[in-house]
Structure 1
């Protein structure tokens, strides 16, 4: 009988037994993540995976489950709900509009599709006050956070997302090239747009904290593959004070709340700044841009990491054993002593062989290999 990509691979199923990962669960997912993010050794390394719609549809067809129910079935320790700029509605078969009035369209790249912006609401508007920002309360109400907390809040680590926190929202409203020029030639306008974007997401985050999430997830891509998108000086002038206020407000509201921040790419020069202003977890940790083991050695006593798995080479082009090896390396060198939520650094794309996704799951949870 031919091997199915989501059935056990015997050569991988015992991959972590020698690392004491084959013991029975002594913690539930919430306890496991809390322990890891407290820089203590959990019973096993917590994990999750992000999937594109195409990949998730394949697994939904296989298991008959979708959304958070699918992720729980797959053993994910972390469940994420986001509100805000990423909520979109179809206006025709190829275009979507989000609550901000940003118009997107689907671009076909072969095995799947991705979204590009067609229209920026503030591209030709030079008065921020002429634009009506969405209602953060309504955006949270339209998310799935209440269901997740009700169904899984006692057993799983629940993350409330306020990503696109200020930089990305600002440039998505204005256009990236125009906004980057505004930062230099029209800084009053640029800062007002950043400020208004931050205020909106801060309100979302406050609502999520009051609802009882375990962690708030902010996010702005400040990194390119090998350098920052803007100078550290400009980042410290415009964005750092606002992130400091954002994090301080949330921790005043709930001193036990943890905060994660997403950025793709290389952001090493500003990691100490994020730690200084209260960041608990750095998310993505794109290994083609920053070495996860090096970051662990340099910052691991003050910062936890979420991500680290290579989606640019290992997942799409490596073998199942390559994926398994990388899982073992991350658990050994980044997860030792806690401080790691293992995950792909970005979404698993449709061109990733399902065998490689199965290798990820079977290696991080070998005792459940028959599930995959």
Structure 2
């Protein structure tokens, strides 16, 4: 039987076997330009035959965002943009390429009154007609659909507040930290429910809780502040569609919290940075309960390896995963300007040539 790309991905994530290795990656702006220079048209995911298409539902807002109230007396470089949460993204120098400096609108907030006044974005728990239509259109093409909502709780909170201030709040003003996290969690739960109700196959949650070599916080801190809230978001989606696949992103080293993520309801871990974690070890310990997305290093083999080394790495991790699946091998992060185009082609060829 020939599976659709959609059914193949879901079967792979459920560790029920698969017929083809899916491909997927994200290109930085300069590599998107390279794709077009080489004759590519439209979205590169269509050009490379991606099996999963991501969608992002845009929110409304609970009030008017007034820059001068939340950034009093500040001026911004040309090109600065403010996202749905009101977080500013200010462009850097030419050497920074697409990287931006983040501006925290709640960095000077003094209490719960400021939270009450802040115009948080709002998502409806019921999907919009446009969202339902988009999912149905992608399904008609035979591809899986993932609802994007990374920066689910912790990262959004620290982008709003600033990491140093939020860490201090955990110790010095737990009421403020609780109120901020709860406001974000409530909105994320509604957003997850809407994605599930619209028919998404996968929800991509995530918060960076690891650094390059260790956890960003103690397990006790994670279990107090974030784990129960993540469970609440996942439960909201599963209440609508128990079969939806829950993927979770965290950069860096998170080995010490993988079991907690599984207990919270995570079913697929991304990106499994090989520079920070050993996929073979993770697979031995957790493959009965967890699938994986990533493992192809964007700090190592993708920018600095040869095409032959890229192919060998893809085949190595697929061999670890075995015939049941449980691994969608793909670059761990955005592919940056230094990645040779030949290595992108080698990754795609390695996936398509794998025969187990």
Fold conserved between structures, TM > 0.5: yes
Q: Aligned equivalents of 2:322 and 2:149: distance in 1? A: 26
Gaps of 5+ in 2: 60-75
Residue 134 (structure 1) shift: 1.0
Distance 1:83 1:285 in 2: 26
5 Å-filtered alignment, 1:147-296, equals 148-154=134-140, 155-296=142-283
SS in 2 for 1:365: helix
* Structure 2 match to 1:59: 35
TM-score (structure 1 length as normaliser): 0.84
Whole-angstrom CA distance in 2 between matches of 1:63 and 1:193: 47
1:131 Cα offset (Å): 1.1
- Tell me what 2:98 maps to: 113
Choose the corresponding residue for 1:77, options 51, 68, 85: 51
Contact 2:196 2:238 in 1 (8 A): no
Contact 1:259 1:280 in 2 (8 A): yes
CA contact (8 A) 1:292 1:334 kept: no
In structure 1, C-alpha distance between the alignment counterparts of 2:77 and 2:58, rounded to whole Å: 21
Q: Is the 8 A contact 2:192 2:236 kept in 1?
A: no
- CA separation in 1, counterparts of 2:39 and 2:138? 19
Change beyond 3 A, Cα 1:75–1:322: same
How far residue 207 of structure 1 moved from its aligned partner, in angstroms, is: 1.1
Q: Deviations over 1:209-263 (max 9, x none)?
A: 1111001111100000111111100100111111112212211111111111110
Is contact 2:189–2:232 with CA below 8 Å preserved after alignment? no
Tell me whether 1:39 sits opposite 2:24 in the alignment.
no
| Offset at residue 71 of structure 1 (A) | 0.6
Aligned to 1:28: 4
CA contact (8 A) 2:211 2:253 kept: yes
Structure 1 254/164 Cα, relative in aligned 2: closer, same or farther at 3 Å?
Answer: same
| Cα deviation code 1:122-171 (max 9, x no counterpart) | 11112322212112249x869x8556424322311110011111101101
1:55 shift after superposition? 1.4
CA gap 1:84/1:290 in 2 versus in 1, 3 angstroms: farther
> Pairwise CA RMSD of aligned residues?
2.4
What does residue 9 of structure 1 align with? none
